[in-house]
Amino acid sequence: MDVLTENFSLYGKGFLGTLELTVYASILAMVLGFVMASCRVAPVGSFRVLGTAWVTVLRNTPLTLLFFAVLLGLPRFGLVLPFKVFAVIALGCYTSAFICEVLRSGINTVPTGQGEAARSLGMTFGQTLGNVVLPQAFRSVIPPIGSTLIALAKNSAIAGAFSVTELLGTYKTLNELGYSIIWTFVWIAVGYLIITLSISAVFNVMEKRWGVDR
Are 21 and 164 spatial neighbours (Cβ–Cβ below 8 Å)?
yes
Of 126, 122, 70, residue with least CA distance to 93 = 70
Report residues of the chain scoring pLDDT below 50. Answer: none
Close Cβ partners of 58 (under 8 Å, ≥ 6 residues apart): 66, 93, 94, 96, 97
pTM value surpassing 0.85: yes
In angstroms, the Cα distances linking 166 to 12, 19, 21, 170, 171 are: 9, 8, 8, 7, 10
Q: Kindly compute the dihedral angle of the four CA atoms of residues 34, 62, 26, 130, in this order, to the nearest 10 degrees.
A: 10
Per DSSP, 213 falls in state P
Q: In angstroms, rounded to a whole number, what is the distance separating the alpha carbons of residues 18 and 166?
A: 5
The three-point CA angle 39-41-45 to 5° equals 70
Q: What are phi and psi of 207, to 5 degrees?
A: -65, -40
pLDDT in tens, 113-165: 777 787 787 888 778 887 788 888 888 899 999 999 999 999 999 988 887 88
Return the pLDDT at 213. 58
